[in-house]
Amino acid sequence: MRTIRAGIVGVGKIGRAQIAAVRSMAFADVAAIAMRDPERAAAMASELKISTHYRDYRDLVADPDVDVVHVCTPNSSHFEICKAAIGAGKAVLCEKPLTISAKESEELLALAISRNVKTAVNFVYRHYAAIQALRDIISRGALGDIYTVHGEYLQDWLLYDSDYDWRVESSVGGASRAMADIGSHWCDLACFLTGEKIVEVCADLATFLPRRRRPGGRAAGRADTSGAGQFAGAGPCDSASSLVDVDTEDYGSALLRFAGGIRGCCTVSQVSAGGRTGPSIQADGSKASAQWSYESPGLLVIRKRQEPDTILEYSDPVQNRLQAQKAMIESFYSALSERASPGRERLYADFADGHHSVEVVEAMMASSRSGHWERL
Domains of the chain: 4-124 (3.40.50.720), 128-320+331-375 (3.30.360.10)
pLDDT band at 286 (very low <50, low <70, confident <90, very high): very high
Predicted local confidence at residue 336, as pLDDT: 92
User: Does the pLDDT at position 240 exceed 80?
Assistant: no
Is it the case that residue 231 has pLDDT exceeding 50? no
Q: What is the pLDDT of residue 319?
A: 67
Q: Is the pLDDT of residue 235 over 60?
A: no
Q: Could you tell me how far CA 368 lies from the centroid of its own chain?
A: 22
Beta bridge partners of 255: 202, 265
Strand 68-71 versus strand 91-94 pairing type = parallel
Task: Please report, for the chain, how many H helices and E strands are present, in that order.
Answer: 11, 17
CA distance linking residue 179 with residue 279, whole number of Å: 13
Residue 130 has pLDDT above 90, yes or no: yes
CB 87 within 8 A of CB 115: yes
- Which uninterrupted H or E stretch holds 257? strand 251-258
* Alpha-carbon gap, residue 78 to 265, rounded angstroms: 28
Helix (H) or strand (E) holding 28: strand 28-34
Mean pLDDT over residues 37-43, rounded?
94
pLDDT of residue 277: 74
Distance CA(206)–CA(210), nearest Å, equals 10
Instruction: Give phi and psi for 236, each to the nearest 5.
Output: -60, 135
Residue-wise burial string across 149-177, b where 16 or more C-beta atoms lie within 10 A, e elsewhere: bbbbbbbbbbbbbbbbbbbbbbebbbbbb
Above pLDDT 70, what percent of the chain? Answer: 91
Cβ atoms 199, 258 nearer than 8 A: yes
pLDDT surpassing 50 at residue 229: no
| Rounded distance between C-alpha atoms, residue 74 and residue 175, angstroms | 13
Q: In terms of pTM, does the model score above 0.85? A: yes
Is the Cβ–Cβ distance between 354 and 126 less than 8 Å?
A: no
pLDDT mean over 125-141: 97
CB distance 48 to 96 below 8 Å: no
Asked if 353 and 89 count as a contact pair (C-beta separation under 8 A), the reply is no
Using CA atoms in the order 299, 300, 302, 308, what is the torsion angle rounded to 10 degrees? Answer: 0
The residues, any chain, with a CB within 8 Å of residue 369's CB and separated by 6 or more, are none
Q: What is the pLDDT of residues 48-99, one digit of tens each?
A: 999 999 999 999 999 999 999 999 999 999 999 999 999 999 999 999 999 9
For residue 243, list its beta bridge partners: 213
369 φ, ψ (degrees, to nearest 5):
-70, -40
Alpha helices in the chain (DSSP H): 13-23, 38-48, 57-62, 78-87, 102-114, 129-139, 170-173, 178, 184-194, 321-337, 351-370
Report the distance separating Cα 127 and Cα 326, nearest Å. Answer: 9
* pLDDT for res 276: 78
Give the least confident one: 37-41, 192-196, 366-370: 37-41
Residue 116 has pLDDT above 90, yes or no: yes
Rounded to 5 degrees, what are φ and ψ at 269?
-155, 145
